[in-house]
Amino acid sequence: MADAEAKKGAFRKGGKKKGGANSYLILAWFLVGTAILSWICAATGQPGVSAASVAQILNSPVNGFTSALPVCLFVVVLGGFLEVVGKTGALNAGIAALVKKLKGKELVLIPILMVLLGICGSTYGMCEETVPFYLLLGVALYAAGFDTMTSALTVLLGAGCGCIGSTVNPFSVGVAEAALADMGYDVNKGLVLLLGFIVFVIAEGSAIVFVMRYARRVKASRSNSAMSEAELAAMDEEFGGEKGAASETGELTLRQRWVLVAFAISFVVMIVSFVPWGSFGVTIFDAGQKSEEVVTKVTGDDLTSAYADNNLGTLKLDNDTSGTVTTTKEVAPAWSALLTGTSLGNWYFNECTTWFLFMAFVITAIGGLSADDAVKTFLKGAAGILDIALVIALARAISVLMNETGLDTWILNSAAAGLSNVSAPVFSVGASIVYLLLSFAIPSSSGMATVSMPIMGPLAIRLGFPVEVMIMIYVVSHGIILLFTPTFGVLLAGLAFSKVEYSTFLKTTLRYIVGLAVVLVVFLTVMMVVL
């Protein structure tokens, strides 16, 4: 306990700054700004833009919560799961044992973890799935003598720079290529892969250097922390105290060892479940799955009713109109669908929530917790994380409002019109700016590709520019914005886990992010000219 108190004192000596505005206020101002922008655009007669109504503004947080419900529920259940694991004492003792083993070599954890997260980001777009790692690495790196800004940077820049350098990421590169293929345009996937790899090396390499420099300063003297007094106090309360005391010995009981095994399995399965194995030709997780085609006869009345039910207007058909609908029905599930009904590689947040809820029961049994104690512990952890879920929902509200008012489409179409007759360097820089702006409104990489690529891709081809570079401009620009935009709820959630205010994070990273953006835009501009 003395060590924990010493750490607190050391940190507080460096506290020179007050805490910044909280995430809710920042997002509220963004929401108000979005509404005002819609009013201005509507008043000036901008095509396709409607003024946000009072009802739309007030409903947007609720609609945002509805839209982000799978992620929010996952975060809440995850909080309960982690609290149950913490109750066993296994995680703290395990981290203490790791720190003891790495004594004097704690810095090696950072590049290793960042490269692993970067590979996950580049190959399958690991981004929202990083939420648990903010807390896990926060505990580990705090115990190793760093602040939680270090752990937040490790996760965010590790995975984020991986997404910036997407190579075979199906949710960004894959969707973009598919959108163009559906329009009849050929894409050199090998060239996209090469460009993505080069960007990955630049982004991930520079991020590791940046985080390592910051970590070394904090390790040398905790007074060098970028965090304010209020943030440091919150960090000490969350990651020191009982947690610090519980982990001092680093001795693991047999039960705790088995809890750590189950804990590791939980996250390995989560990571494996999100990877779209089918896109890479891997079918092992789908083994045993059988399906059959089902043909259903439909009448004209069925078609007109379906049309009306989906608010598509009025469909008029002859009385004798009929047809068939062919669907695929699963008759036998894959072996990996045993627990959730969905095979590994096809999971999303609903399935992951089920998995972590199940593993909470497993760890309860292994850790020797009573049922009553486990339930109370789980609810405590879930309640403690609820504010983070609300941050995610409020962030999603901004995207919802921009979509409802047509602001996102207006920005894209206006920008495309302005870039219709320009040189390659101007087009490259202009397209990058367009995506940087639009990504505030559309944090989803697949959503961005779906909306924008049918417009920007053909425009690039018509002007004689390589569409492969156009794809990477979208990937890089969108990825850069996700490193710092408050409309990306996962970012604010991760910072909340780490007890780091958004304003503090921005002051610490903005210069690096801007520098990285400039370097990558220059690189892609050169590629646009020479290819």
- Identify whether 504 is part of a domain: yes
* The pLDDT value given to residue 9: 46
* The pLDDT value given to residue 3: 46
Confidence of residue 304 (pLDDT cuts 50, 70, 90): confident
Q: How many CB atoms lie within 10 A of CB 441?
A: 23
Q: Are residues 165 and 135 in the same domain?
A: yes
Q: Are residues 413 and 278 in the same domain?
A: yes
Joined tokens for residue 86: 């913490």
Is residue 256 pLDDT above 50, yes or no? yes
Q: Are residues 140 and 275 in the same domain?
A: yes
- Identify whether 413 is part of a domain: yes
Q: Considering the entire predicted model, what is its pTM?
A: 0.75
Confidence of residue 241 (pLDDT cuts 50, 70, 90): low
Residues whose CB falls within 8 Å of the CB of residue 386, separated by 6 or more in sequence, listed in order: 76, 79
Distance CA 329, CA 514 (A): 50
Sign of CA dihedral 214, 217, 219, 225: negative
Q: Which domain holds residue 318?
A: 290-332
Q: Are residues 313 and 396 in the same domain?
A: no
User: 325 forms bridges with which residues in the sheet?
Assistant: 296
* The pLDDT value given to residue 1: 38
Q: Are residues 208 and 297 in the same domain?
A: no
Q: Are residues 90 and 200 in the same domain?
A: yes
Q: Are residues 86 and 216 in the same domain?
A: yes
Q: Are residues 100 and 153 in the same domain?
A: yes
Q: Are residues 150 and 241 in the same domain?
A: yes
Distance CA 129, CA 360 (A): 18
Q: Measure Cα distances from 109 to 115, 248, 309 in Å.
A: 10, 20, 55
- Identify whether 337 is part of a domain: no
The closest alpha carbon to 155, from 493, 514, 445, belongs to 493
Mean pLDDT calculated for residue range 426-434? 91
Q: Are residues 66 and 100 in the same domain?
A: yes
Joined tokens for residue 161: 């720079």
Q: Are residues 375 and 519 in the same domain?
A: yes
| Three-state SS at 89 | coil
Is residue 10 pLDDT above 70, yes or no? no
Q: Phi then psi for 68, rounded to 5 degrees?
A: -100, 10
Q: Are residues 467 and 411 in the same domain?
A: yes
In the chain, how many domains are there? 2
- Identify whether 339 is part of a domain: no
- Identify whether 77 is part of a domain: yes
Residues whose CB falls within 8 Å of the CB of residue 337, separated by 6 or more in sequence, listed in order: 289, 343
User: 145 forms bridges with which residues in the sheet?
Assistant: none
Joined tokens for residue 321: 């109109």
Amino acid at 340: T
- Identify whether 172 is part of a domain: yes
Q: Measure Cα distances from 200 to 325, 362, 529 in Å.
A: 45, 38, 21
- Identify whether 140 is part of a domain: yes
